Amino acid sequence: MSDKPALTVLLASPRGFCAGVDRAIQIVEQALVRYGAPVYVRHEIVHNKHVVDSLRAKGAVFVDELDEIPAPLPGQESAHVIFSAHGVAKSVVAAAEDRGLAALDATCPLVSKVHSEASRHHFQGREVLLIGHAGHPEVEGTMGQVPPGAMTLIESVADAEAVQPRDPANVAYATQTTLSVDDTAEIIAVLTRRFPAIKGPGKADICYATTNRQQAVKAIAERCEAILVVGAPNSSNSKRLVELAAQLGCKVSVLVQTAAEIPWEKLQGVRSLGVTAGASAPEILVQDVIRALQTHFDVSLEEVSVTREDVIFSLPKALAS
* Binding map of ligand SF4 across residues 52-81, x = CB under 6 A, - = no contact: ------------------------------
Among 48, 84, 142, 177, binds ligand SF4 (CB under 6 A): 177
Run of H or E residues at 241: helix 236-247
List, as one string, the DSSP characters of 42-102: ES-SSS-HHHHHHHHHHTEEEESSGGGSPPPPTTSPPPEEEE-TT---HHHHHHHHHTT-E
Q: Is residue 20 at the binding interface for ligand SF4, with CB under 6 A as the rule?
A: yes
Residues with Cβ < 8 Å from 9, sequence gap 6 or more? 273, 274, 275, 290, 293, 299, 300, 301, 302
Q: Is residue 232 at the binding interface for ligand SF4, with CB under 6 A as the rule?
A: no
CB of 32 to ligand SF4, least distance (A): 20
Active-site annotation holds for 138: yes
Distance CA 56, CA 248 (A): 38
Q: Is residue 108 at the binding interface for ligand SF4, with CB under 6 A as the rule?
A: yes
Distance CA 117, CA 105 (A): 18
Whose Cβ is closer to ligand SF4: residue 18's or residue 146's?
18
CB of 45 to ligand SF4, least distance (A): 11
Binding window for ligand SF4 (CB under 6 A); candidates: 157-165, 206-214, 248-256, 298-306: 206-214
Residues with Cβ < 8 Å from 264, sequence gap 6 or more? 296
CB of 194 to ligand SF4, least distance (A): 27
Q: Is residue 209 at the binding interface for ligand SF4, with CB under 6 A as the rule?
A: yes
Binding window for ligand SF4 (CB under 6 A); candidates: 17-25, 88-96, 125-133, 293-301: 17-25
| Number of C-beta neighbours around residue 202 at 10 A | 6
Q: Which of 138, 265, 302, 309 is catalytic?
A: 138
- Which residues pair with residue 267 across a beta bridge? none
- Indicate which residues carry an active-site annotation: 138
Residues forming contacts to ligand SF4 in the complex (CB under 6 A) are: 18-21, 85, 108, 110-111, 177-178, 207, 209-210, 237, 279
